[in-house]
Structure 1
């Protein structure tokens, strides 16, 4: 059996930890459960990570980097309204892609806030800063307007995540994505004084 590099094992443990945290919460995410989920032995997990806290730190960074990728990697160009719409849909689609990711994200943000104070805010701060940059690139120049749009995107995405996590109904979630997008379109039209973006 070929030897699996430590970097690959760490990636396996991070993905396994997301699933275990989503199922059992932070308190129930034992190293044994994570190792079992990763189909590895406990000794390998302890070889890759000095502590569960270190592993959770990498899982937290994985969550943060996923948000950054969604928000930063969209190369389609458009105006402020279209950019805001794409950013909101990108985050909602990420949540819809994996209910485990959604559950683990909520758990990890709460954990980081309890354990590390401001670090629990870092995911939000980094995501909001990326949104601000994208909106500025699309032509939004007033800082107050940029902040308001970023807040509305976050509020709608968080509400969507809460509903998806609570009910787990994919069909309903797809409909709720459309509702959230239309709410954003209407709010942007009222705030910016332009026609809503067509679906």
Structure 2
């Protein structure tokens, strides 16, 4: 059997942890179940991650990285309204395509709220920082206050969070696609009122 490099094995274990957390929740994400999902010996998981908390920290890092990638990929380099709309649409599309990431994120945020360090806050702060920088760039040349950029960032985050909870609850792709348009309409109405 060929030896799998440690970095590749860590990556496999993080991906497996996301899938297991999405399917079984944090409490059901045992190291044995995660190792089985990754087709790795349990000893390898313990070699790569000295504790389950360190594995979950790596999962949070992966989630933050993917969120950042989605935000950057949906920067349309337009005005603030067009950019906010594209970011929100991109997030909703990502949640539809990546329900494991969405489920794992919700599970981990609930778990993190019960821990002292609260790593979910770092994920949100990092995502808001990236979104804010994209929107600030889009606002250059426009008379938009920094507080308004912060509000847009919050509204996009709140709308996407509400959307993903609805999607995960009902798991109806056709309904979710229709609801995405409603969510975009809500953002457009809010932006029109705020930026008028």
Same fold per superposition (TM over 0.5): yes
User: Is 2:163 the partner of 1:160?
Assistant: yes
Matches within 5 A, 1:45-124: 45-124=45-124
Give unpaired runs (5+ residues) of structure 1: 194-199
Shift of 1:117: 3.8
Shift of 1:45: 1.0
Contact 1:35 1:41 in 2 (8 A): yes
Q: Distance in 1 between matches of 2:116 and 2:86?
A: 32
Q: What number of residue pairs does the alignment pair up? A: 193
Deviation per CA, 1:11-67: give whole Å up to 9, x if none: 111111011101111111000000111111111111111111111110011111111
**2:113 aligns to what SS in structure 1?**
helix
The CA RMSD measured in Å over matched residues stands at 1.4
Residue 196 of structure 1 corresponds to: none
Higher mean C-alpha displacement, 105-114 vs 22-31: 105-114
Q: Distance in 1 between matches of 2:150 and 2:118?
A: 20
TM-score, normalised to structure 1's length?
0.92
Matches within 5 A, 1:168-183: 168-183=171-186
Residue 23 of structure 2 corresponds to: 23
Shift of 1:113: 2.5
Contact 1:114 1:120 in 2 (8 A): no
Contact 2:60 2:119 in 1 (8 A): no
Q: Distance in 2 between matches of 1:67 and 1:138?
A: 19
TM-score, normalised to structure 2's length?
0.93
Q: Distance in 2 between matches of 1:181 and 1:155?
A: 12
Deviation per CA, 1:139-178: give whole Å up to 9, x if none: 1641121111111101110110100110111111111111
Q: Distance in 2 between matches of 1:147 and 1:118?
A: 22
